[in-house]
Amino acid sequence: MTSSRSNILSRWSTDKVLCQLLRGTAVIAGAIVMLIVVFLIMEALPAFYHIGLLRFFTDPSWHPAEGFYNLTPMLWGTLFAMTGSVLIATPLGIFSAVFCHYYAPRGLARLYRRLIELLAGIPSVVYGFWGLVVLVPLIAEMEPPGPSLLAGILILTIMIFPTIALMADASLANVPQQYLRGAAALGLPRWATIRGIVFPAAKSGLFTGVILETGRAIGETMAILMVSGNVVQTPSSLFDPIRTLTANIALEMAYALGDHRAALFVSGLVLMAMIMGLALAAEWISRGRIYG
Amino acid sequence: MVETLNRSQTPREWLAFALVWGAAALVTATFCWLLGDIVWHGLGHVSWTFLTAPPENAGRRGGIGPILVSTSLILGVCLTVSLPIGIGTAVFLAEFTSDQSQFGRMTRRSLDILAGVPSIVFGLFGNAFFCKTLGLGFSILSGGLTLACMVLPILIRSTEEGFRAVPASYRLSAAALGLSRTTTLVHLLLPAAVPGLLVGLVLGVGRAIAETAALIFTSGYVDRMPESLLDSGRALSIHIFDLSMNVSGGDANAYASSLVLVILLLAINGIASAVTTYGLHRKIVRV
């Protein structure tokens, strides 16, 4: 990479101006994350003063009108929905990528890849709408009431599936060809090659994919709000309605005032912390451990 | 590559074969179900009048005219702000910093985090910063600015790729000819990086159109024709959300609006992949 920076012979003053100008835009772009965190903290401060951190976990319930701010049911909602969808979407996505690379004929693989890209482009509100009018009535027939943790998990699965599928696809494509030729020369059958050679070689890419899809599952708002019932409770079965942290913000922000509003910003901070943790994990995985 | 792998008949191989094809079939079936459902129910309602008429009776009847206008205004604000900042940052990262520089690394890391921030958190931030602190209220301007923050990482990533795809010899030749860096950038690198820029633009527009959660508390719910950028305006995705959740009997129009949104996004996706396939690998050497 020849960066123009090293072009020290340049004596044009416009270059200096341009460089400063571009640096300015980069500062703005880089500062947005800081700005977001600062504003979330500023808006959440009243909650820390008046309510205190501990009461978000020990209050009897989430009834902001009466001054109760227990976030744990929503935390459980988010965690259950996330875990369920990641558990289903991960094998599905990895199998899809394997299908594209090692099982499907070339033309079919290309077609299938286009289909996954299309799935990735469909907006969450359309998934949510489809879940509401198609999935929820189906689940209601099995076991009322219908809007439930199960519906949330299924919709989230469809939504995060493209992320892991495309990530796995890219990392399988990066497996060195001579590994596969070596396996073929040894007479290994197809699945044995994939399990014993391809998966270990593509490990770090696959893990990054899982982290990315987890991030999407945590942050998804509209689709899960539309299908999961939004009752504040810790679910005891798959058919119980749940409310996630994100849905809680979307539902109550419209009329929240004072401490209630601050409490919603606290849940925003919690989400932000989860995402930052995932980003750090992703960086740790991708650092130098490729094909390890 | 398929041909080089042996076809063996052990039970385990058969099981894996069945699972892999099963997963692919399941995904395809779900996709067809979803898309088929929306096309089947939506197609009957989409017409020219639906696209231009104002919504009546809370959206149960009438069309989506003002909503399409609001959506494009929000998009316009978003692009006007994010394009200069995004391209500037991408040029700076690709051309004016080395990979080792501290500043470049910090900027990249913060953009990576920004790319993962949930949209509802953007909504909270937009509400606190643009609506309250800057005093813009629930308006198209606030919504567009919030979306601009959201699409920046996508825009910057693709544009940077575009600049990195330009051969180093271009820069070396320009330097040998004594061109200033500004001239090199404007006349040589920018035209060569246009495909990357286009991909970023198209992906960013796709993400912005699809967004709902970030807009509820920034651009608002009002479904009238917006008169200025400081008016509240309802985006298409929020219209679908509102019709399906808060308006009983709005399903027919929700289906039609979903179909319009999906068609828009599929078109955008098609453009993006066409540009990647035909544009990114083409060299611009003109004599």
Cα→Cα distances B108→A34, A190, A278, B78, B166, Å: 13, 40, 16, 21, 20
The better pLDDT of the pair B28, A144 is held by B28
Token pair in block for residue B151: 């699409």
Report the C-alpha gap between B207 and B262 in whole angstroms: 12
Give the other-Cβ count within 10 Å of B169's Cβ.
Answer: 10
State which amino acid sits at residue A21. L
Q: What is the mean pLDDT of chain B?
A: 85
Give the other-Cβ count within 10 Å of A32's Cβ.
Answer: 23
Interface test with A, best of B3, B20, B33, B261 (most A CBs within 10 A): B20
Q: Please tell me the least confidently modeled range out of A4-13, A43-52, A98-107, A207-216.
A: A4-13
B232 to chain A nearest CA, in Å? 14
**3-class secondary structure, B134:** coil
Torsion sign over Cα A104, A107, A112, A113: positive
Give chain B positions within 8 Å (CB) of A35: 125, 129
- Whether B137 and B131 have beta carbons less than 8 Å apart is answered as yes
Q: What is the pLDDT of residue A292?
A: 41
- H/E stretch holding B123: helix B119-126
Nearest CA in chain B to A265: B124
In 3D, which of B47, B54, B82, B86 has the Cα closest to residue B68?
B54
Cα→Cα distances B128→A43, A259, B118, B230, B264, Å: 7, 15, 16, 16, 31
- Is residue A159 within 8 angstroms of chain B, CB to CB? no
Token pair in block for residue A38: 């600062």
- Percent with pLDDT over 90 in chain B: 24
Tell if the CB–CB gap between A39 and B128 is shorter than 8 Å: yes
Q: What is the pLDDT of residue B142?
A: 92
Q: What is the pLDDT of residue B108?
A: 87
- Is residue A117 within 8 angstroms of chain B, CB to CB? yes
pLDDT in tens, B112-163: 889 889 999 999 999 999 988 888 888 999 999 999 999 999 999 889 888 8
Token pair in block for residue B88: 């500037």
Tell if the CB–CB gap between B216 and A278 is shorter than 8 Å: no
Longest Cα–Cα distance in chain B: 70
Report the C-alpha gap between B57 and B250 in whole angstroms: 10
State which amino acid sits at residue B46. V
Report the C-alpha gap between B98 and B247 in whole angstroms: 54
Report the C-alpha gap between A125 and A225 in whole angstroms: 10
pLDDT in tens, B45-56: 888 888 888 888
The position carrying tokens 């890391």 is B109
Indicate the length of chain B as a whole number: 287
Looking from the CA of B111 toward its CB, the CA atoms found within 13 Å total 26
Tell if the CB–CB gap between A283 and B125 is shorter than 8 Å: no
Categorize the per-residue pLDDT at A214 as very low, low, confident or very high, splitting at 50, 70 and 90. very high
SS3 content of chain A, % helix, strand, coil (to 5): 75, 0, 20
Q: What is the pLDDT of residue B1?
A: 46
Report the C-alpha gap between B173 and B184 in whole angstroms: 10
**3-class secondary structure, B61:** strand
State which amino acid sits at residue A203. K
Report the C-alpha gap between B30 and B34 in whole angstroms: 6
Q: What is the pLDDT of residue B279?
A: 62
DSSP state of B96: I
Interface test with A, best of B37, B111, B117 (most A CBs within 10 A): B117
pTM for the model? 0.86
C-alpha dihedral (B217, B219, B224, B230), degrees to nearest 10: 130
pLDDT in tens, A112-131: 988 888 888 888 899 999 99
Interface contacts A/B by beta carbons within 8 Å: 313
Q: Please tell me the least confidently modeled range out of A76-80, A214-218, B163-167.
A: B163-167
Report the C-alpha gap between A126 and B106 in whole angstroms: 36
User: Is pLDDT of A286 > 80?
Assistant: no
B24 to chain A nearest CA, in Å? 6
| Chain-centre distance for alpha carbon B31 | 21
Give chain A positions within 8 Å (CB) of B133: 39
- Whether B159 and B86 have beta carbons less than 8 Å apart is answered as yes
Q: What is the pLDDT of residue A288?
A: 57
Token pair in block for residue B55: 């919504």
A179 to chain B nearest CA, in Å? 11
CA angle A79, B116, A82 (to 5 degrees): 15
- Is residue A183 within 8 angstroms of chain B, CB to CB? yes
DSSP state of A21: H
Give chain B positions within 8 Å (CB) of A226: 241, 244-245
Report the C-alpha gap between B20 and A11 in whole angstroms: 61
HEC per residue, A25-72: HHHHHHHHHHHHHHHHHHHHHHHHHHCCCCHHHHCCCEEHHHCEECCH
Give chain A positions within 8 Å (CB) of B234: none
Report the C-alpha gap between A232 and B219 in whole angstroms: 27
pLDDT in tens, B82-93: 999 999 999 999
